[in-house]
Amino acid sequence: MVISKHHLNTDWGIEHVDQLSHDVWQALLADKPEVILIGTGPTLVFPHPSSYAPAIEQGIGVEFMDSGAACRTYNVLLSEDRQVIAGIILRGD
């Protein structure tokens, strides 16, 4: 699922970080977030840095963490009125 202050997409279709394509990153960047959190499922998985290059090139922070931690971090950042988007992988590891 993808969640932000103004949007919720429960049909994200991403089941592993390897599926985070250039097009997926462009969609995440469309709302101009300060930071993008990626919950990688029950365990932390790091993708190859080239996969999230579009965010880095725009100066957007990207953090990878297990999905539970991503949800908690999203809530903290949102409570601070930060422009945050979380992409949460609900299956896989």
Task: Give me the mean pLDDT over the 2-20 stretch.
Answer: 93
Cα separation of 25 and 42, whole Å?
21
Predicted confidence (pLDDT) at residue 71 exceeds the cutoff of 80: yes
Show the domains of the chain with their CATH numbers: 2-88 (3.40.1230.10)
Residue 25: its pLDDT value, please? 93
The model's pLDDT over 36-66, given as tens digits with 9 standing for 90+, comes to 999 999 999 999 999 999 999 999 999 999 9
Return mean pLDDT, the chain. 94
pTM tops 0.85: yes
- CB neighbour burial string for 30-60, b if at least 16 within 10 angstroms, e if fewer: eeebebbbbbbbeeebebeeebbebbeeeeb
In eight-state DSSP terms, residue 14 is -
